[in-house]
A and B are shown apart, each in its own frame.
Chain A
Amino acid sequence: MPDFEPVLLANIGKPESHTLKAYEAAGGYRALKQMLKEKTPLDVVELVKSSNLRGRGGAGFPCGLKWSFLPKDHPGPIYMCVNADESEPATFNNRILMEQDPHQMLEGTILGCYATRASTAYIYLRYEYPQALNRLEAAIAECYAQGYLGKNILGTEFSLDIYVHRGAAAYICGEETGLIESLEGKRAWPRIKPPFPAVEGLFRKPTVVNNVETLCCVTHIAARGADWFKSIGVPSDPNNPRDPGSYGPKLYCISGHVNKPGCYELPLGVTCGELIDRHGGGVWKGRKAKAAVPGGISMGLLTAAEFDCPLDFAGPGRYGCLGLGTAAVTVLDETVSIVDFLHNTTRFMAHESCGQCTPCREGTAWALRLLERIKAGKGRLADLDLILEIGDNIGIIPGTTICGLADGAAWPMKNSIRKFREEFEQHIKGTNPGGYMVTEAVRALQVIKVH
């Protein structure tokens, strides 16, 4: 395969890449000018729809389709929220885009607002990105000065304001309705859907929430066309008319036990193994890999034998993972204990659960206590079934919670224990030789389940 010419990262690393001058010198804002002059908002929606662009924030929902859910002829206001909360562990591509090429994202945001007739956009930026904040604020000021933002943009009827809104270190603010609640000044408790944000979102008005990378893709679809976008990646399954495929470039993050951690732009569909070996420089210290997280910890775990998994929207699901997620791969070398891995991911989820749904709040905390007990050498084999039972019962997929955080907590539990059961059992037997067969706790649970 010939090496892929980066598009989203094309300007990254160039001098002054964050300035308007450098961005325009590389052809920036030409697409915006052309679209505003020649195309109606509906044309732009149709263009993005025909590109089959799928959201890069984790759920992979088709972007143009989401935009078309907004009510027609709404008197307004309509809001755009740019999801820049990027908090999924191991994910950092949005940070690079905002720090080093903020105008690429702003052009996509302005185009998105034009298409959806939004008159205000809020960039919900996680607190931990102060450098991105500085760069975004400066870039927004440049846009106002240049007439790309404000009243009557480029002499048209279209007006738009963009503001940055800072979060306060809570993962759940990345969930789109948690984000909306947080922006409104409340605790970030995700909302029950429907109504979906497109119908009733921010300040109870129609709202579109899009990820930073999604909007960067919009910029290039406007500049190069839908056919260009669809010439990259994995086509739709011809036997499934509803499969939108996995088109376009993707920013893959690699971290953990590799020689060259970083963010690499590749066509959707690269395999996990190729990503690690060709781009991540292979496993560090000459060791072998044991497993890898396929797309942020919420997506679960691939064993080293499963590294032929293609990292497109359909791939990880075929290997028992939750999905592509944020396409952030973290490699665990052969020395890592999967018990430690699961403890770390479960601790994250228990800490970040917003506490609204009992199965998520109690389930994550309970699993964490069990894992702490296992790590402390007091584990029982029955604990593994208990954790699996929690994993199988919390989340949107089993239908017990409001948002997908719980599914993201469940998948590492299910994948780790089902794919590495032997290792868990060895650990428990080895550290608790006298007590690993004790089962009282399981009897107690069965009693509870009668209800």
Chain B
Amino acid sequence: MNPPTERILNDTIVAEIKAYFPRYPTRQAVTLPALHVVNRHLRYVPLAAVVEIAALLELHPADVQDTLSFYGFFKQDAPHGETRAWVCRSIACALRGGEEVLEHLCHKAGIAPGQTTPDGKLTIEVAECLGACEFAPCLLAGDIVHKDLTIEQADVFLSQL
């Protein structure tokens, strides 16, 4: 592999990661915060970013990749959509139509869970219990929980993207 000609992590990202250093006695503990910082900026964490994170944290890239790959959370091949919708399929939501909402959203958007629409607007993810079961069925998009979803409200959600 040729060495990358351009850095993936710009100065802002690097500064945000370094701001976590004083919080922990080890650099390795900054792994998850660093992955979140990169993911917030780039919407994914490509392998080249893993290498740069590792250098910052004085780790082997494999250490960072090992942790990253444990969580099904960080995409590596391509960025997730502008909106990443986490649709709950766990018990309280499933009892009130959560799986139907998920099915409907995927059908309408023309993608399977984990995929992104071709226009890059939406990624649909299957979620386990979002801890908002009193509002079942629900989905989380950005900072917002969309509550008590019906098929109609799922359509409204899609139309407002």
Contacts and interface: CB of A to CB of B under 8 A. Distances in A.
B26 A351 contact: no
Contact of A89 (B33, B57, B67, B91): B91
A128 B136 CA distance: 15
Interface string A240-270: 0000000000000111110001110000000
B131 A87 contact: yes
Contacts of A126: 131
B143 interface: yes
B105 interface: no
Contacts of A92: 131-134
B134 A253 contact: yes
A257 B132 CA distance: 15
A171 B131 CA distance: 12
Nearest to A173: B71
A128 B133 contact: no
Given A89-B128, A92-B133, A261-B134, A169 B26 contact: no
B108 to A, nearest CB: 23
A86 interface: yes
Interface string B63-97: 10011001111100000000000100111101110
B25 interface: yes
A185 B71 contact: no
A168 B131 contact: no
Given A185-B29, A261-B133, A344 B73 contact: no
Interface stretch (A129-137, A306-314, A359-367, A383-391): A129-137
A94 B143 CA distance: 17
A170 B57 CA distance: 23
Contacts of A328: 133
Contacts of B74: 168
B131 A256 contact: no
Contacts of A348: 90-91, 128-129
B19 to A, nearest CB: 11
A330 B72 contact: no
A130 B142 contact: yes
A131 B129 CA distance: 16
A168 B133 contact: no
A207 interface: no
A271 B86 CA distance: 34
Contacts of B104: none
A187 interface: yes
A263 B92 contact: no
A88 B92 CA distance: 11
Contact of B128 (A129, A330, A351): A351
A163 to B, nearest CB: 5
B91 A297 contact: yes
A341 B91 contact: yes
B92 A90 contact: yes
A4 B35 CA distance: 45
Contacts of A345: 91
Given A261-B136, A262-B134, A293-B91, A128 B36 contact: no
Contacts of B135: 261
Interface in A145-200: 161, 163, 165-171, 182-188
A274 interface: no
B35 A168 contact: yes
B29 A184 contact: yes
B31 interface: yes
B7 interface: no
A203 interface: yes
B115 interface: no
Contacts of A161: 23
A91 interface: yes
A311 B134 CA distance: 19
Contacts of B145: 131
B28 interface: yes
Interface string B102-134: 000000000000000000000000011111111
B86 A128 contact: yes
B72 A169 contact: yes
B8 interface: no
A183 B129 contact: no
Given A168-B73, A187-B66, A203-B25, A256 B128 contact: no
Given A94-B131, A167-B32, 16 more contacts: A89-B91, A90-B133, A128-B127, A163-B23, A165-B32, A183-B32, A184-B29, A188-B70, A203-B26, A254-B134, A255-B133, A261-B134, A261-B135, A344-B89, A344-B91, A354-B70
24 contacts: A77-B25, A89-B90, A89-B129, A89-B133, A92-B131, A92-B134, A130-B143, A134-B143, A163-B23, A165-B33, A168-B32, A168-B73, A169-B72, A170-B71, A171-B128, A182-B32, A184-B28, A255-B95, A255-B134, A261-B134, A332-B95, A348-B128, A348-B129, A351-B128
Interface of A: 77, 86-92, 94-95, 126-131, 134, 161, 163, 165-171, 182-188, 203, 253-257, 261-263, 293, 297, 328, 330, 332, 336, 340-341, 344-345, 348, 351-352, 354
Interface of B: 23, 25-26, 28-33, 35-36, 57, 63, 66-67, 70-74, 86, 89-92, 94-96, 127-136, 140, 142-143, 145
Q: 3 shortest A-B CB distances, which residue pairs?
A: A185-B31, A187-B70, A185-B28
